[in-house]
Chain A
Amino acid sequence: MTIDWTAFTPWSALAGGAMIGLASALLLLLNGRIAGISGILGGLISRTPGETGWRAAFTIGLLIGPTLWALFNVLPAIRIEAGYPMLIAAGLLVGLGTRYGSGCTSGHGVCGLSRLSPRSLAATLIFMAGGFATVFVVRHLLGV
């Protein structure tokens, strides 16, 4: 392992993280809900009665973020290397996996760890390990 210090952006990562933490705190203290994106989207799909409004509003907020940003500044780079078959396979795995495992980086990672849940800690360690292992296999064993 070597550390890529030229790409290291600690301050923007911390600042963006603090905003994510603040947004999760707002949703919890005002709406009483956990800011788990996979749960919010999954709930939109299964259309739980009386739950659609706030879920749609949160999702629209996520979608509008880049447009609001672009009014004031150039959007940061979004570079997507994966090809279409890979994107579709990855999307299916992420969609199915986050619902089956009841959470993703936001629900288990940010909110679960913020409330010191052992279940979310386990989930976070497992999906992090899965991500590390997959990139290792794809980049260093298969050399894609």
Chain B
Amino acid sequence: MAKYLLLKHYRGAPAAVNDVPMDKWTPEEISAHVQYMNDFAARLEETGEFVDSQALAPGGTFVRYDGEGRPPVTDGPFAETKDLIAGWMVIDVDSHERALELAGELSAAPGAGGKPIHEWLELRPFLTEPPTITE
């Protein structure tokens, strides 16, 4: 019983194997991709492993405290080189192996030509509460 975060990146992750931008796909390929993601989430709801899933807008801003009485500093929209998170899914599974299996399955979503995109996903364990027995 451990929670994991599956992170999708707009930028910052290594390139996908089937690396064709989505606007070059056919509308049918996009529909198939979206359907795959929805089916994936629905299956996890069915198995009792789904916790949460959200997509994020591409625009993001870095913000920083700039001293007493001054407005926060921002550095404007992300530059191309910055890591940018596209969305996440949180799962609650019995083992790390199961988390890897699900991440692999999500990465196999179909893209251009109906072939899996082999997209890199980031898999991060949640820090848990300490167990009752520690010593």
- A and B held together in a complex: no
